[in-house]
Amino acid sequence: MSTEIRLPLIGEKFPSFEAITTQGVKKIPEDYKGKWFVLFSHPADFTPVCTTEFYGFQKRYEDFKKLNCELIGLSIDQVFSHIKWTEWIKENLNEEIKFPIIADDTGKIACMLGMLHPAKGTNTVRAVFIVDPNGILRAVLYYPQELGRNLDEILRMVKGLQTSDKYDVAIPANWPNNEIIGDKVIIPPASSEAEKENRLKKAKAGEIECKDWWFCYKKV
């Protein structure tokens, strides 16, 4: 039997595992059934860039929760290090980290999820996994250790994926501030001649807007 580890792919079930966290043992994704979650790794506790990221994630935590989305941090530090670091953030930056942080001190989870990139050192890279309420992996991001993440983009991704699911639409670049259609969303292209003609009729009736029959959009 092959022992090769294959990284999880978009559209697949997120791998199941138990983890020790700052809020006790968590079974992922099972404990988050019915919720979205963002699992993100950081290279190490008590490092400047990671500190700015955790501060920023916590500042947006309520925004994520309004989207029925939880946050889960991870690094290969031990749990006491996570606890001490979050104490430091609270005491020195006046921000309490309220989401759990996985203590993956064996590196097992990091290996499973492809968070260890040898060319970038022995710590985890800045990985991001966005998982939906059914435990399906919807998006993956990898950042090098030297580049901090754009946390507003991660929040935008969750909003965009939820909007796409709800209205069966696609999300344009830089949404909701797209340079062509603003905060509108894209209707999937017509898949038949009949659908194409029906779409053009809807555009003439003002039900939707189109640049052409294959580029139609609407407000939601």
Residues 124 and 210 in one domain: no
Instruction: Render 159-179 in DSSP notation, one character per residue.
Output: HHHHHHHHHT-B--TTTTSBT
pLDDT under 50: residue ranges of the chain: 1-4
pLDDT digits (tens, 9 = 90+) for 102-142: 999 888 998 889 888 777 667 888 999 999 999 999 999 99
Does residue 104 contact residue 110 with C-beta atoms inside 8 Å? Answer: yes
Residues 98 and 172 in one domain: no
- Pairwise CA distance, residues 105 & 110, whole Å: 9
**Residue 46, phi-psi category: left (phi > 0), alpha (psi -120 to 50), beta (remainder):** left
- The pTM assigned to this predicted structure is 0.93
Structure tokens at 89: 């953030």
Q: Give strand pairing partners of 132.
A: none
For residue 103, what is the domain's CATH number?
A: 3.40.30.10
For the purposes of burial, counting CB atoms within 10 Å of the CB of 33, is it exposed (0-12), middle (13-18) or buried (19 or more)? exposed
Total domain count, the chain = 2
Structure tokens at 188: 């999937």
The yes-or-no answer on residue 69 being catalytic is no
What is the pLDDT, as a whole number, of residue 159?
Answer: 98
In the set 50, 69, 111, 210, the catalytic residue is 50
